[in-house]
Chain A
């Protein structure tokens, strides 16, 4: 996952350092220095969480880097007078953005990920000395009133593997929901990537992921999340026993016949509601695969199909959205990078002019030189100012990127939720087709047996066994149908939720982007207009 905030910070460090090291005497320069040395907003300040969109929420600890004091004056009076824009003007400052409203409803007021540390894994390591891994400190503050008892704030240490586990647990327990996707695993050798940079990226990604989980109306209240955020000590690794122990709650077991002659271990219907995984589910996978093939290629329609046209429409719209979001979010990224480049080069230009000014001033012999040096200095200062404004502009514009990325993630989550539905349906279809087979066999046996005088004891015994199997299979089928309906309902609810929220989020994203660009462009324009005015005599003198 791209973490552009981090990359912005790293890229501009050298230019900033250079500018700080130049000793300029006037106030503008020192002003420039202090603001340049403050860090980018998203790196550190966890107080940003309550209003992630409204990152400019006035708070004493936020640096002047975040909110240029005259921002309001420059942006909002002209736009208000020109367009009659309502007091929605200070949009970026108020907590009124839809996203923050949702965040406020979450059980967790604030989740922050910080303090990465390297630890050594000692046990079961083949490498002498042990391998290392990174842990992160996760601090959570609870919304007062959301929990009956317990501390208002807690911290735990977690490693990335724990996050993967959490994601897997949620995927199992919340089928049909649009679960925000977790950050990517590290596919690249961590020695190739700059360790520091990578850890910074990951820290940010984790923070975003946890916050999005917390904002989800259902998942935000889940036990799995709560355990992850609160339980002290190391989290256990997932094993099959955990899954099995959960299954023990329901006692119904399927007879071995369901899995053919190969008597696998006893499985419970709860297993049915999980998608078939590897290992002992191998036979079930084969069966469902066969069913899927029959569905696709067989001339006969299975008895239960996805008939919900509305769903199919919405699913296609979701796929459309995914298709367009990918290039859109890439181009948005590229746009911000280009803007960043302009700002950086402007800064480099300003630096070069500052050095030229110093040089001319030191070597002044003629009066024209002195004037030139003064001219160069004003241009240099303006260029540095403009460069700083570009940086601020981009720090805010990066939030635009966030929304596009977020919804791209959601379309992927939706895909997963839809495939939950498909596999649940497949299970139902498989069971129904099994039942059909079984019933046919019973019919055949009964017919054959009735031809023998007195009945065929062995055949009748078989029939009894089969009927028992049928009964159990019917139970499993009911279970599977219930599950399927449940997932369908989840899909529908999530689609409704997404539609509602997407409209608001996109609108607020566009508005924020536009206002941001307008505000900063106006400031940059005024910086240069002053210089143009001051140097206008050179154009005038020659006309």
Chain B
């Protein structure tokens, strides 16, 4: 099936090859020991100053700060690069989740038509919010988010990205607080107002149905994306369930092992030893199962969830495109009306002609701008969708590989553990035959 022909680069491998498992807070005091950040993109590390340009970022060291209700997690963001636009080869800053949200929202505003990489969910059930597992899942997702931006040809050039990666915490906080709450920038307010106006006038004029594109390929794409979301969500749900089942099986094995050991204590010598050995192996397997459950979660379920989010992000782009299209249509319409009016005035040799002409020229410029915006979005989307598909194939392929590898290893471990009990069983039956 053309294995060698295509070689897709997965964003996940850049992050997903930890040399050591991520640190978890087992002490329960909320402090997480520093995670050893694995070497990133070692193939891209410069051997000489004139090496290929690279930008690699890692999100590490989640630390719980603050108290009570206001407690939050902060992350260390380490940037390594040889690009001239950056302040140096390495920079470390401290960021929190809302900083990432700021960056995401800024990019979403400025780069319409591009599929902005998705963020992990905003809130979580309160008691779960600081569990080691959740923190690790979020850290991984943020790491992937920032690296996706860094490897996107357009997004990586964003000034906001540089701000995010380099500015000190106070600057960051100032930038962030400008965006918080319902008080948006004036430009946004105007846009919202305009949208409301349009809707009202539509209703008043009887134009209830918003203007939509009729491009059949685009229709097909929309249909595909909506369907894809459903299917991916279903697989993610099953994957999550599978993780839970692994944990449950681990627990059952542990309980079973203990009970079997106690039962063995009632029995005689050699048979008792067999029971005891069986119980010990059962407990050993319980640990392996918990490990595999974690592996499944981070390397199989999370990538699936990530793609569900990615698809949802694409839907946002659809909305942007629809808006742009509507504006383009409306402005074109209005411009045409203005043109007709202008011609009328010209014929009448009215003195309002000059004013009307100025208005017409302004409107025309706006309309052309709107059309350009729309066409840009269409062009970008076409490129983005190809990129998306390629990325998806690579990322999912890797997830499948991790899944299969993990399951194979687990099954082999299980077989090995049980097989090791056989010699004792044999010894027991031989001895019972002889005495």
Binary per-residue interface labels of chain B (324-360) against chain A in the complex, 1 for a CB within 8 Å, 0 otherwise: 0000000000000000000000000000000000000
Instruction: Check if B396 sits within 8 Å of A375, measured CB to CB.
Output: yes
Q: Using an 8 Å CB-CB cutoff, how does the interface string of A301-330 with B read, 1 for contact, 0 for none?
A: 000000000000000010011001101101
Q: Is B253 an interface residue (CB 8 A)?
A: yes
Is A469 part of the binding interface, using a Cβ–Cβ cutoff of 8 Å? no
3 shortest A-B CB distances, which residue pairs?
A542-B13, A525-B411, A538-B397
User: Do A349 and B239 have beta carbons less than 8 Å apart?
Assistant: yes
Number of residues from B at the complex interface, CB < 8 A:
81
B246's nearest neighbour on chain A, judged by CB, is A342
Q: Mark B405-435, 1 if CB is under 8 A from A, else 0.
A: 1011001101100110111011011001000
Does A45 lie at the interface of the complex (its beta carbon under 8 Å from any beta carbon of B)? Answer: no
- A508 to B14: give the CA distance in the assembly, Å: 51
Instruction: Sample 17 A-B pairs with CB under 8 A, ordered by A number.
Output: A85-B426, A88-B426, A328-B263, A335-B256, A349-B238, A371-B1, A376-B400, A503-B432, A507-B425, A511-B425, A514-B278, A517-B414, A518-B418, A521-B415, A535-B397, A541-B8, A543-B43
Contact pattern, A 191-234, Cβ under 8 Å of B = 1, otherwise 0: 00000000000000000000000000000000000000000000
Quick one: given A85-B422, A514-B418, are A328 and B231 in contact (CB under 8 Å)?
no
A480 at the interface (CB under 8 A from B): no
Contacts of A524 in B (CB 8 A): 407, 411
Spot the interface stretch: A19-27, A248-256, A270-278, A526-534. A526-534
**Inter-chain contacts of A528 with B (CB < 8 A):** 404-405, 407-408, 411
Q: Within 8 Å of chain A (Cβ to Cβ): is B393?
A: yes
Q: Which of A349, A506, A524: most chain B CB closer than 10 A?
A: A349
Q: How far is the CA of A351 from the CA of B224 in the complex (A)?
A: 19
With A and B bound together, what is the CA distance between A136 and B170 in angstroms?
A: 81
Q: For B389, what are the chain A residues with a Cβ–Cβ distance below 8 Å? A: 366, 368-369, 372
Would you call A338 and B245 a contact (CB within 8 A)? Answer: yes
* Inter-subunit contact B252/A375 (CB<8 Å): no
Main secondary structure of the interface of A (DSSP, over half): helix
CA A325 to CA B264, docked complex, whole Å:
10
Nearest CB of B to A82, in Å:
7
Q: A85-B426, A503-B432, A542-B14 are in contact. Are A338 and B404 (CB under 8 A)?
A: no
Task: Tell whether, in the assembled complex, residue A507 and residue B429 are in contact, meaning their CB atoms are under 8 Å apart.
Answer: yes
Indicate whether A83 reaches chain B with its CB closer than 8 angstroms. yes
Q: Output the nearest chain B residue to A515 by Cβ-Cβ distance.
A: B422
Are B235's CB and A542's CB within 8 A?
no
With A355-B231, A368-B8, A371-B397 known, 4 other A-B pairs at CB within 8 A are A369-B393, A518-B415, A541-B10, A542-B398
Which range contains the number of A residues in contact with the other chain?
35 or more
| 9-residue interface stretch from B64-72, B142-150, B268-276 | B268-276
Q: A367: CB under 8 A from chain B? A: yes
Contacts of B50 in A (CB 8 A): none
Contacts of A542 on B, CB cut-off 8 Å? Answer: 9-10, 13-14, 398
In B248-284, the 8 Å CB interface with A consists of: 248-249, 251-253, 255-256, 258-260, 262-263, 265-268, 271, 274-275, 278
Report B232 CB to chain A, min CB distance, Å: 7
Is A334 interfacial (CB-CB < 8 Å)? yes
| Known contacts A328-B263, A339-B249, A359-B231; A510 and B392 CB within 8 A of each other | no
CB proximity of A372 to chain B, nearest CB, Å? 4
- Give bound CA distance, A522 to B398, whole Å: 24
Interface flag for B394 (CB, 8 Å)? yes
Contact B408 A525 (CB under 8 A): yes
Task: Please tell me if B122 contacts chain A, counting CB pairs below 8 Å.
Answer: no
- A325 cross-chain contacts in B, Cβ below 8 A: 263
Contact in complex: B13, A371 (CB < 8 Å) = no
Q: Which residue of B lies closest to A356 (CB)?
A: B231
> Are A510 and B278 neighbours in the complex by a CB distance under 8 Å?
yes
Taking a contact as CB atoms under 8 Å apart, the answer to whether A518 and B408 are in contact is no
Q: Which residues of the other chain, A, contact B266 by a CB distance below 8 angstroms?
A: 317, 320-321, 324
Choice from B13, B231, B259, B278 contacting A331 with Cβ under 8 Å:
B259
The yes or no answer to B215 lying at the interface (CB within 8 A) is: no
Instruction: Flag whether A341 is at the interface (Cβ < 8 A).
Output: yes
Closest to B11 in A: A542
State A514–B262 Cα separation when bound (angstroms).
18
Please report whether the interface of chain B is mostly helix, strand, loop or mixed according to DSSP.
helix
Q: B255 near A334 (CB under 8 angstroms)?
A: yes
Other-chain contact of B408, A345, A360, A375, A532 (Cβ < 8 Å): A532
B418 and A327 within 8 A (CB):
no
A461 to B9, CA, bound (A): 116
B293 to chain A minimum Cβ distance, whole angstroms, is 10
Q: CB-nearest residue of chain A relative to B429?
A: A507
Contact (Cβ within 8 A) A334 B252? yes
The answer to whether B227 has its CB under 8 Å from any CB of chain A is yes
Instruction: Contact check, B259 vs A352: say whether CB atoms are below 8 A apart.
Output: no
Given contacts A327-B259, A368-B393, A522-B415, contact A355 B234 (CB under 8 A): yes
Question: Which of A345, A356, A374 touches B232 (beta carbons < 8 Å)?
Answer: A356
CB contacts (< 8 Å) of B3 on chain A: these are 537
With the chains together, A511 CA to B393 CA distance in Å? 45
Q: Which residues on the A side are within 8 Å of B255 (C-beta)?
A: 331, 334-335
Binding site for A on B (CB under 8 A): 1-4, 6-10, 13-14, 17, 43, 220-221, 223-224, 227-228, 231-232, 234-235, 237-239, 241-242, 245-246, 248-249, 251-253, 255-256, 258-260, 262-263, 265-268, 271, 274-275, 278, 385-386, 389-390, 392-394, 396-398, 400-401, 403-405, 407-408, 411-412, 414-415, 418-419, 421-423, 425-426, 428-429, 432
Tell me the complex Cα distance, A511–B121, Å: 49
Q: Which residues of chain A come closer than 8 Å to B404, judged between CB atoms?
A: 379, 382, 528-529, 531-532, 535
**A82, A351, A368 — which one has the most chain B CB atoms within 10 A of its CB?**
A368
Q: How far is the CB of A4 from chain B (nearest CB, A)?
A: 14
Residues of A361-403 contacting chain B, CB below 8 A = 363, 365-372, 374-376, 379, 382, 386
A456-513, CB < 8 A from B: 503-504, 506-507, 510-511
Q: Are A363 and B271 in contact (CB under 8 A)?
A: no
Contact B271 A324 (CB under 8 A): no
CB atoms of B224 and A363 under 8 A apart:
yes
| Distance, CA A462 to CA B230, complexed state (A) | 99
- Best-buried of B221, B252, B429 by chain A (most CB within 10 Å): B252
Q: How far is the CA of A525 from the CA of B292 in the complex (A)?
A: 14
Min CB distance B395 to A, Å, is 8
List A contacts of B258 (CB < 8 A): 331
Q: Which of B13, B271, B405, B422 interacts with A543 by CB under 8 Å?
A: B13
Distance (whole angstroms) from the CB of A444 to the closest CB of chain B:
54
**B260 CB contact (under 8 Å) in A328, A360, A536:** A328
Cα-based distance from A386 to B415 in the complex (angstroms): 15
Contact (A359, B227) CB under 8 Å given A82-B419, A366-B389: yes
Docked-complex contact A535 and B401, CB < 8 angstroms: yes
Given the complex of chains A and B, what is the CA–CA distance between A213 and B242 in angstroms? 42
